């Protein structure tokens, strides 16, 4: 384009501003891997944004609000050009998107055919299911919320022909945009206008529906938006001020307008103080705001289609943020904010023989591991205790005052981490001395990300390492999660390596079906369990035991994420940390036949003792792709619980 003078090129240059992200995954390009250096699939990270590469892409999208986003992938034969199969997320303005996305896909298909003779397939037109645009985890799907006509293109070839296929498909899109840009940008503006004026959505037009033989479940493409979401900043209305501040900053980073009340107001019988955050939904990017803040929909039975990836997400539920829905607009005075107020910590005054802080935030876990790394003496309460008329629950962290600079440490916890530090008159008796534990990890990237970000000392151990008889004697805990069953992949040497580790007092945390299966096959805990399908996923209502050592100080009624759910049916002699809620326990996602599963009311986290080892089994996925931050602390508590 820079050196030719053809009529086509002049037309494109006169009508298109072209941005090229030369490589979305620099690590993967150098390493020859799909994931980045930490193992993350960046094209699943857009609703979490745990990785710097994703955040960089988001910054470009929010700055430019591109009209078209083409994400070049491989490999599908014949070439695949989106738009997608149903179900289509109702938070899009899908009628406007599909009007141009389908026509643009056909233009790319035609250009590809003319230039190369190769055919293409368009899932919206040609497939019934299983290539959906429901979750906002993919690059193009995320970009749709910013007004883009987003497409994933899957080239069919792994040689020069793959480059050629992408080249000509993109060329077709550039020509299409050049010829239709005024009408396309008018409809992009209409997306924002609908949001700003709180206008109703429209279903997919009959003209579009006639172009595919497959049911698009048009009734699921529209939604009634609430007037606003209300997010308290501080306790007691906010269960986690730290996570609330994190969510507010996340919204702002994603170009969502956030306000703060400048006066108290009452909603649903509750009075909210001045400074409460309000996300008004009459804003240009209301769809993105809603897809971040809603509970999600249960699509297990309607439409009940097979899904390509996850189907349930909710930042308030999975990040542990209290928020209320304002269905009808209230007359509340507010002002725009450009960042959240950080949580304010404090140190209780008075003479102290020890200081205590609660394990109720992710910041408390990070602080604990930092203190341990500095050699500061710390204890953890094994049971509730009372001091000065107050009750401190299981899991409370305690710093004895008989060590150097302890007041400075307490002040640091308050100022750096925003923690509330309580002065204790006496040291409680039922406590465990904490220390840095060495952890061997055979687990997914979510677990590894959590351990790294929160300051745990861990080493990744592979199946090959185990089968080679790696020495595990220097480790305290073995953590395992995985999509395929590890025990069946171990040789006799690998199995003996683990059995010797457990016989020597090594502790174990097993997550998901492979984690639980390993415990059963290694005869660690006597449990029976059932599972959903391997791709069943979504958000569950969970009953947490507040005083249990693993679910220490979690809200009793809360949530968790599952992918391939596991629940326990026989667990005699074990401690139960959490149950699946009785009744209608499934909030959002796709879990086929969950109503017939008989999982309601069953344990989903248990722990117990096997000889000298402490074993914890989780049927949830507490760190799935680094997203469900609310349940990160469950894994931390399980690690700390291994101290006895």
pLDDT tens-digit series, residues 559-582: 999 999 999 999 999 999 999 999
B/e letters for 605-623, b = 16+ CB within 10 Å, e = fewer, are: bbbbebeebbbbbbbbbbb
Q: What is the pLDDT of residue 560?
A: 99
Distance, CA of 379 to CA of 515 (rounded, Å) = 29
Closest CA to 445 of 155, 18, 31, 44: 44
Q: Round the CA-based radius of gyration of the chain to a whole number and report it.
A: 26
In this predicted structure, what is the pLDDT of residue 554?
Answer: 98
The answer to whether 162 touches 82, Cβ cutoff 8 Å, is no
DSSP characters for 388-403?
TTEEE-TT-EEEESSS
- Residue 64 pLDDT grade (very low, low, confident, very high; cuts 50, 70, 90): very high
Q: Is the pLDDT of residue 637 over 90?
A: yes
Q: Per DSSP, what are the bridge partners of residue 272?
A: 265
Tokens at 68, concatenated: 């078209």
Q: Which CATH number fits domain 7-219: 3.40.50.300, 3.30.70.2190, 3.40.1260.20, 3.40.630.10?
A: 3.40.630.10
Pairing of strands 79-81, 120-121: parallel
Task: Name, in order, each residue with C-beta under 8 angstroms of 453's C-beta and a sequence gap of 6 or more.
Answer: 366
Return the half-sphere exposure (C-beta side, CA atoms, 13 A cut-off) of residue 638: 32
Token couple for 459: 């080493």
| pLDDT higher than 90, residue 539 | yes
Beta strand pairing call for 79-81 and 390-392 = unpaired
Residues 195-248 have pLDDT tens digits of: 999 999 999 999 999 999 999 999 999 999 999 999 999 999 999 999 999 999
Name beta bridge partners: 609.
Answer: 614
pLDDT of residue 644: 78
CB 51 within 8 A of CB 38: yes
Cα-Cα-Cα-Cα torsion 237, 240, 241, 243, nearest 10 degrees, comes to -130
- pTM (predicted TM-score): 0.97
| Sequence spans of domains, the chain | 7-219, 224-337, 346-433, 438-641
Tell me how crowded residue 32 is: count the other CB atoms within 10 A of its CB.
6
Given CATH 3.30.1490, say whether it is the number of domain 346-433: no
- How does the average pLDDT of the chain come out, rounded? 98
Whether 640 has a pLDDT exceeding 80, the answer reads yes
Percent of the chain at pLDDT above 90?
99
Exposure on the CB side of residue 347, measured as CA atoms within 13 A: 19
What's the confidence (pLDDT) of residue 483?
A: 86
Q: What angle, rounded to 10 degrees, do the helices at 160-196 and 7-15 form? A: 30
Half-sphere exposure of 506 (CA within 13 A, CB side): 26
**How many whole angstroms separate alpha carbon 46 and alpha carbon 55?**
8
Confidence of residue 397 (pLDDT cuts 50, 70, 90): very high
Q: What percent of the chain has pLDDT over 70?
A: 100
Choosing among 3.20.20.190, 1.10.3720.10, 3.40.50.880, 3.40.190.150, the CATH entry for 438-641 is 3.40.50.880
Say yes or no to pLDDT of 346 above 90: yes
The pLDDT-based confidence of 5 (bands split at 50, 70, 90) is confident
pLDDT per residue over 273-295, tens digit each? Answer: 999 999 999 999 999 999 999 99
pLDDT band at residue 4, thresholds of 50, 70 and 90? confident
Per-residue pLDDT averaged across 601-619, rounded?
98
The single residue listed with the structure tokens 């947490």 is 544
Phi-psi region of 53 (alpha: psi -120 to 50; beta: other; left: phi over 0): alpha
Q: Is 1's pLDDT higher than 80?
A: no
Once rounded to an integer, what is the mean pLDDT over residues 57-68?
98
Say which residues have a Cβ less than 8 Å from residue 365's Cβ, sequence separation at least 6.
Answer: 359, 454, 632, 633, 636
pLDDT band at 506; cut points 50, 70, 90:
very high
Q: What is the pLDDT of residue 43?
A: 98
Give yes or no for residue 428 having a pLDDT over 90: yes
């Amino acid at each position: 384009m820079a050196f030719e003078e053809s009529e086509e090129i002049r037309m494109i240059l006169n009508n298109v501003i072209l941005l090229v992200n030369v490589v979305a995954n620099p690590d993967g390009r150098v390493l020859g891997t799909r994931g980045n250096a930490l193992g993350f699939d960046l094209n699943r990270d857009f609703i979490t944004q745990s990785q710097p590469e994703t955040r960089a892409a988001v910054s470009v999208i929010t700055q430019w609000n591109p009209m078209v986003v083409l994400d070049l992938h491989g490999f599908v034969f014949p070439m695949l050009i989106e738009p997608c199969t149903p179900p289509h997320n109702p938070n899009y303005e899908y009628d406007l998107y599909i009007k141009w996305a389908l026509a643009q896909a056909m233009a790319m298909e035609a250009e590809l055919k003319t230039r190369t003779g190769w055919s293409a397939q368009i899932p919206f037109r040609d497939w019934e299911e299983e290539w959906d645009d429901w979750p906002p985890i993919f690059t193009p799907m995320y970009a749709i919320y910013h007004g883009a006509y987003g497409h994933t293109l899957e080239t069919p070839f792994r040689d020069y022909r793959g480059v050629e296929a992408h080249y000509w498909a993109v060329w077709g899109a550039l020509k299409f945009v050049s010829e239709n840009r005024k009408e396309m940008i008018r409809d992009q503006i209409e997306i924002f206008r609908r949001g700003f004026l709180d206008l109703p959505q429209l279903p997919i037009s009959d003209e579009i529906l006639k172009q595919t033989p497959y049911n698009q479940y048009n009734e699921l493409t529209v939604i009634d938006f609430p007037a606003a979401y209300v997010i308290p900043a501080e306790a007691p209305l906010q269960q986690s001020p730290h996570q609330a501040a994190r969510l507010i900053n996340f919204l702002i980073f994603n170009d969502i307008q956030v306000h703060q009340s400048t006066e108290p107001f009452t909603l649903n019988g509750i009075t909210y103080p001045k400074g409460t955050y309000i996300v008004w939904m009459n804003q240009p990017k209301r769809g993105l705001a809603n897809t971040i803040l809603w509970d999600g929909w249960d699509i297990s039975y309607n439409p009940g289609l097979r899904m390509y990836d996850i189907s349930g997400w909710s930042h308030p539920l999975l990040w542990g943020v209290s928020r209320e829905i304002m269905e009808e607009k209230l007359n509340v005075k507010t002002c725009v904010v450009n960042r959240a107020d950080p949580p304010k910590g404090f140190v209780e005054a008075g003479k102290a023989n020890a200081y205590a802080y609660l394990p109720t935030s992710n910041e408390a876990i990070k602080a604990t591991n930092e203190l341990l790394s500095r050699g500061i003496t710390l204890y953890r309460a094994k049971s509730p205790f009372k001091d000065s008329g107050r009750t401190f629950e299981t899991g409370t962290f305690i710093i004895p005052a008989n060590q150097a600079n302890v007041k400075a440490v307490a002040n640091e916890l308050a100022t750096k981490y925003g923690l509330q530090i309580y002065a204790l008159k006496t040291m409680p008796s039922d406590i465990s001395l904490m220390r840095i534990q060495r952890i061997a990890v055979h687990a997914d990237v979510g677990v590894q990300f959590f351990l790294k970000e929160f300051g745990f000392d861990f080493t990744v151990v592979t199946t090959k390492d185990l089968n080679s008889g790696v020495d595990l004697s220097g480790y305290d805990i073995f953590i395992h999660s995985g999509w395929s069953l590890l025990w069946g992949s171990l040789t006799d040497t690998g199995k003996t390596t683990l059995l010797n580790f457990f016989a020597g007092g090594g502790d174990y945390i097993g997550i998901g079906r492979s984690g639980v299966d390993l415990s059963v096959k290694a005869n660690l805990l006597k449990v029976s369990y059932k599972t959903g399908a391997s791709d069943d996923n979504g958000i569950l209502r969970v009953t947490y035991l507040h005083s249990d050592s693993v679910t220490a100080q979690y809200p009793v009624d809360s949530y968790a994420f599952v992918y391939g759910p596991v629940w326990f049916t026989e667990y005699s002699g074990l401690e139960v940390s959490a149950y699946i809620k009785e009744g209608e326990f499934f909030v959002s996602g796709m879990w086929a036949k969950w109503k017939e599963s008989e999982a309601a009311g069953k344990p989903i986290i248990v722990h117990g003792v096997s000889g000298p080892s402490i074993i914890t089994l989780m049927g949830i996925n507490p760190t799935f792709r680094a997203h469900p931050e609310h349940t990160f602390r469950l894994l931390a508590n399980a690690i700390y619980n291994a101290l006895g």
